[in-house]
Copies of this chain bind each other. A is one copy, B any other.
Amino acid sequence: MRTDAVKNRQRILDAAEEIFATEGVAVPIDAVAERAGLGVGTLYRHFPNKEALFEAIVMDRLVRLLDTAKDFEVAEEPGEALFSFLYEFAEQASSKRDLFEALGSAGIDLKARCAELFAELMKSVETLLARAMAVDAIRRDMLANEIVGLIVGTCHAAGDSGLSEAGRQRMVAVVLDGLRPVVRRS
């Protein structure tokens, strides 16, 4: 892609992510183009339909999440690295849930389509978990897929209960605290 095209693509993605988050996924595609300061034609050249846009946003975030995880793999404090990653993961799982569901309703199984990316992310979580366990920064009885499932489930539960963003954050805080090493009670 030419540099201009790359820049425009990112401008569209950033504008779309922002507008979907604030106004919901039903917002018309023209509004996305307007927010990005580009013509609708330019937008359609990059993304032929809304689903392509949803998919690109989620993929973009997943790639960035994987980058974050890779950075944390070599962080000095393995405990803080794992918990910071899980916090960021919860943020994304929650804020991108609408996009995921819109894709699901359109018959697009993103998890199957990006199986490799998801697998790489899980591998990275396993590394972060092993490092944190080695310094006793996390309880020892949970597997990586259980931790990921627990966090995704918590964010879904918060959404289903119609909780505020503060309520969701409290729910996630409970789970993250519960993942800390079990302290013997006196």
A169, closest chain B residue (CB): B141
Q: Which residues of B contact A170 (CB under 8 A)?
A: 141-142, 146
Asked if A145 and B161 make an inter-chain contact with CB atoms under 8 angstroms apart, the answer reads yes
Query: How many angstroms between the C-alpha atoms of A174 and B158 in the bound complex?
Result: 17
| Contact among B157, B161, B173, B176 with A154 in the assembled complex (CB-CB below 8 Å) | B157
Q: Does A108 contact B (CB under 8 A)?
A: no
Asked if B154 and A160 make an inter-chain contact with CB atoms under 8 angstroms apart, the answer reads no
Q: Which residues of B contact A145 (CB under 8 A)?
A: 161
Asked if A171 and B149 make an inter-chain contact with CB atoms under 8 angstroms apart, the answer reads yes
Stretch touching chain B among A5-13, A46-54, A63-71, A178-186: A178-186
Q: Which residues of B contact A33 (CB under 8 A)?
A: none
Given the known A-B contacts A178-B178, A179-B178, A183-B183, are A171 and B156 also in contact in the complex, defined by CB atoms under 8 Å? no
Total interface residues in chain A, CB < 8 Å: 29
Cβ distance A57 to chain B, nearest Cβ, rounded Å: 23
Asked if B139 and A149 make an inter-chain contact with CB atoms under 8 angstroms apart, the answer reads no
Q: Which chain A residues numbered 72 to 96 have a C-beta less than 8 Å away from chain B? A: none
Q: Does A167 contact B (CB under 8 A)?
A: yes
Q: Does A132 contact B (CB under 8 A)?
A: no
Asked if B161 and A146 make an inter-chain contact with CB atoms under 8 angstroms apart, the answer reads yes
25 A-B residue pairs with CB within 8 Å = A139-B174, A141-B170, A142-B174, A146-B161, A146-B170, A146-B171, A149-B158, A149-B161, A150-B157, A152-B157, A153-B153, A153-B154, A153-B156, A153-B157, A154-B154, A154-B157, A156-B157, A173-B178, A174-B178, A174-B179, A175-B175, A175-B178, A177-B182, A178-B178, A183-B183
Given contacts A153-B161, A178-B179, 18 further A-B contacts (CB under 8 A): A145-B161, A146-B161, A146-B163, A146-B171, A149-B157, A149-B158, A150-B171, A152-B157, A153-B153, A153-B156, A153-B160, A154-B154, A156-B156, A156-B157, A173-B178, A174-B179, A175-B178, A177-B178
